[in-house]
């Protein structure tokens, strides 16, 4: 659509300029007019000059973007008034018809997918270019994430972990989006995206150590469980306050842009978090600063107990992109292949065209919000069951790779039991590993510990010796 828009706007501008050449000299808003035409001409026409290896996606993407061409369906008749307004952003034509833009389109924005519910490739989607190796790794990681979630959740129920939160139902978004990125792309996750770390090579022991906040935790035992982070893997440490990562992602993307890196920032967020002010700030900054950032919104229907019908009245998240001037797509978050295609293409566009892209992935939070939540208090069991079974993203992808002859039942059984054993082993190790030392309570508040903290550390150490019963025995002095 942006391609279409860009082209058509250029055409309109040219014809207007021919008709009203005097504007060019006399228009008071000339600078804006020139900036708009220069930005038009600097826009790389897509996909014509794309030398990307992802060319095979073009058909499909182009089809879906055409379907989204919402301006086509807005109820404006062509203007017959020639005194068009030269206004920052481009010419605005006049109309004598008083027309309000409707609050929504008649048809909801369609959802891009390539695998049907049974895992069969939809006719017309020329997209089976994913290699066997990548497909198997995607599946392997989705299963690993499932098993991790099951074991860790149980461990929390047994009181062995203080807190946990599953990604159940959102395995495809987690893993397939990660697979579509490169290790140089910088990840800013919300919290339900541990699969991205898994894909990048975070080990099961590394996950477990964070959950226990033991000596192996890179966060030094300071944050709640599931607040992972890895400098090595370009995964910025999770922060609980929602949506704060979105404008930050734009700053990171801007730096990548200035350094001419072949990389983008990727910010994940939830449907609930999209209501925060920082969501607005992030998207608007990204558009204005032409930052190579991909926003991935996991629209899973719920923000704790709040249904999306109480969260927004737009057609989900995808339509918000256009208001900011951001190219956007809605994708079936439970179709790993579609997620992979959409994110690969989004990444390619973000980097080659130096622009933000918004991806809304429709999915469902199959688990409780966290171990502190009981979601049966506010949503019907049948709804959960439906998404857990009929719309299960892992099963759907398995069907596809099995049909391709890339996976077997035997491998399935072996994989699951092997991962389970490995996770249980990491728990045994993680539980026994000592906590970070007292010094880690005071370090990293600043680069260098100031005197007030040095004094407090000294006092605390004395207290710990005097009253050992007040302090955990597994925190070494």
Ligand X SMILES: Cc1ncc(C[n+]2csc(CCOP(=O)(O)OP(=O)(O)O)c2C)c(N)n1
Q: Tell me which of 20, 39, 154, 412 is the catalytic residue.
A: 154
Give the one residue of 47, 194, 270, 436 binding ligand X; rule: CB under 6 A. 270
What does each C-alpha distance from 277 to 187, 283, 294 come to in angstroms?
Answer: 21, 10, 18
- Among the listed residues 130, 189, 264, 303, the single contact to other proteins using CB under 8 A: 303
Closest contact distance (angstroms) between CB of 353 and other proteins is 31
Among 271, 290, 348, 353, binds ligand X (CB under 6 A): 271
4 interacts with other proteins by CB under 8 A: no
365 lines the binding site for ligand X (CB under 6 A): yes
If one asks whether residue 2 binds ligand X (CB under 6 A), the answer comes out as no
String of contacts with other proteins for each residue 356-375, x by CB under 8 A: -------------xx-xx--
Nearer of residues 192 and 398 to ligand X, judged by Cβ = 192
Q: Which part of the chain contacts ligand X (CB under 6 A), choosing from 117-125, 296-304, 332-340, 453-461?
A: 296-304
One of 240, 255, 372, 418 is an active-site residue; which one? 240
131 to 150: interface string for other proteins, x by CB under 8 A: --------------------
By CB under 8 A, residue 289 contacts other proteins: no
Least separation in angstroms between CB 63 and other proteins:
33
Q: 9 contacts which partner out of other proteins, ligand X, Mg ion, none, CB within 5 to 8 A by kind?
A: none
In angstroms, what is the minimal distance from the CB of 457 to other proteins? 9
Least separation in angstroms between residue 297's CB and ligand X is 9
One of 159, 241, 380, 405 touching ligand X (CB under 6 A): 241
Binding site for other proteins (CB under 8 A): 159, 162-163, 213, 221-224, 227, 239-242, 272-273, 275-278, 303-306, 310-312, 369-370, 372-373, 377-378, 435-436, 438, 440-442, 445, 452-453, 456, 460, 463-464, 466-467, 469-472, 475
Binding interface with Mg ion (CB under 5 A): 270-272, 300, 303
- Active site positions, annotated: 154, 240, 369-370
């Amino acid at each position: 659509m942006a391609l279409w828009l860009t082209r058509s706007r250029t055409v309109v501008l040219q014809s207007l300029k021919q008709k009203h050449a005097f504007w060019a000299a006399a228009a008071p808003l000339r600078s804006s007019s020139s900036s708009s035409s220069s930005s038009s001409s600097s826009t790389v026409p897509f996909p014509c000059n794309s030398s990307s290896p992802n060319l095979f996606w073009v058909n499909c993407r182009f089809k879906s973007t055409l379907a989204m061409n919402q301006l086509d369906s807005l109820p404006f008749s062509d203007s017959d008034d020639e005194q068009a307004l030269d206004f920052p952003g481009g010419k605005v034509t006049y109309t004598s018809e008083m027309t309000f833009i409707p609050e929504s389109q008649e048809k909801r924005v369609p959802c891009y997918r390539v695998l049907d519910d049974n895992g069969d490739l939809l006719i017309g989607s020329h997209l089976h270019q994913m290699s066997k190796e990548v497909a198997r790794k995607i599946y392997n990681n989705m299963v690993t994430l499932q098993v991790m979630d099951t074991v860790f959740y149980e461990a929390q129920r047994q009181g062995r972990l203080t807190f946990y939160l599953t990604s159940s139902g959102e395995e495809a978004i987690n893993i397939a989006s990660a697979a579509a990125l490169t290790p140089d792309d910088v990840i800013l996750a919300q919290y339900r995206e541990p699969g991205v770390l898994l894909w990048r090579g975070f080990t099961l022991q590394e996950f477990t150590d964070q959950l226990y906040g033991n000596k192996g935790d890179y966060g030094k035992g300071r944050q709640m469980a599931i607040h992972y982070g890895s400098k090595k893997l370009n995964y910025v440490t999770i922060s609980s306050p929602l949506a704060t990562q979105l404008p930050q992602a734009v700053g990171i993307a801007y730096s990548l842009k200035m350094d001419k890196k072949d990389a983008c920032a990727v910010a994940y967020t939830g449907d609930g978090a999209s209501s925060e002010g920082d969501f607005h700030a992030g998207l608007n900054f990204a558009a204005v600063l032409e930052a190579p950032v991909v926003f991935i919104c996991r629209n899973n229907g719920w923000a704790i107990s709040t249904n999306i019908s109480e969260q927004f009245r737009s057609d989900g998240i995808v339509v918000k992109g256009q208001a900011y001037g951001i190219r956007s797509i809605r994708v079936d978050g439970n179709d790993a292949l579609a997620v992979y295609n959409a994110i690969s293409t989004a990444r390619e566009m973000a980097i080659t065209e130096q622009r933000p892209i918004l991806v809304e992935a429709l999915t469902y939070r199959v688990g409780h919000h966290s171990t502190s939540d009981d979601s049966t208090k506010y949503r019907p069991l049948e709804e959960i069951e439906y998404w857990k079974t009929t719309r299960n993203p892992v099963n759907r992808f398995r069907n596809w790779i099995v049909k391709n002859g890339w996976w077997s039942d035997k491998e399935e059984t072996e994989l699951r039991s092997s991962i389970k054993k490995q996770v249980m082993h990491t728990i045994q190790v993680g539980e026994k590993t000592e906590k970070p030392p007292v010094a880690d309570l005071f370090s990293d508040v600043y680069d260098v510990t100031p005197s007030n903290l040095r004094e407090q550390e000294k006092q605390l150490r004395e207290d710990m010796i005097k009253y050992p019963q007040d302090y955990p025995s597994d925190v070494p002095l």
